[in-house]
Amino acid sequence: MRLISLLRVAAQAETLRWKRTGRGVAIQAALGAAAAVFGLMLLVMLHVAALIWLAEGRSGTAAALIIAGVDLVVAALFGWLAARHAEDPIQVEAQRVRDDALRQVGDTASRAMVLAPLLRSRNAKKGLIGAALTAAVVGFIARR
């Protein structure tokens, strides 16, 4: 009875922890969105200031084209950086470890499946045929 009560308390505590974690993430996301909006407004104001400053010695059209050219170069630079696909060596190693572990699990399971019919069967011939069929099925599933 005490074990069930402890498990219930642990489950309630875990639920509360996840709710509070979700609330914290939601607040952080809202604050980040507000910061992004104000950052965008700052960028617009910097563009307007640059346009006014460049328009003093030249026409407004020329100043706007200069700013558009600079924006194009910056956008191309960010686009080029975003298009690069550098593999994370830790991610690659983690994927290799996962694949090895899953392969070993499959090997262990297939060995167990081969031996299980032999251990269950009273007839040795019937057990060998069952083991061979089980091994073929497990091998087929493991290759998929």
Structure tokens at 62: 């020329």
In sequence order, which residues have a C-beta less than 8 Å from that of residue 75 and are 6 or more positions away?
none
Backbone dihedral angles phi then psi of residue 95, each to the nearest 5 degrees? -65, -40
Q: Taking the model in full, what pTM does it have?
A: 0.49
Amino acid 139 reads: G
Which pLDDT value is given to residue 112?
Answer: 67
113 close to 134: Cβ distance less than 8 angstroms: yes
Q: What is the pLDDT of residues 75-127, one digit of tens each?
A: 999 999 888 877 878 888 888 888 888 787 777 767 666 666 655 655 555 56
Burial of 77 (0-12, 13-18, 19+ CB in 10 A): exposed
Separation of alpha carbons 8 and 80, rounded Å: 53
Share of the chain above pLDDT 90, in %: 33
Separation of alpha carbons 10 and 7, rounded Å: 5
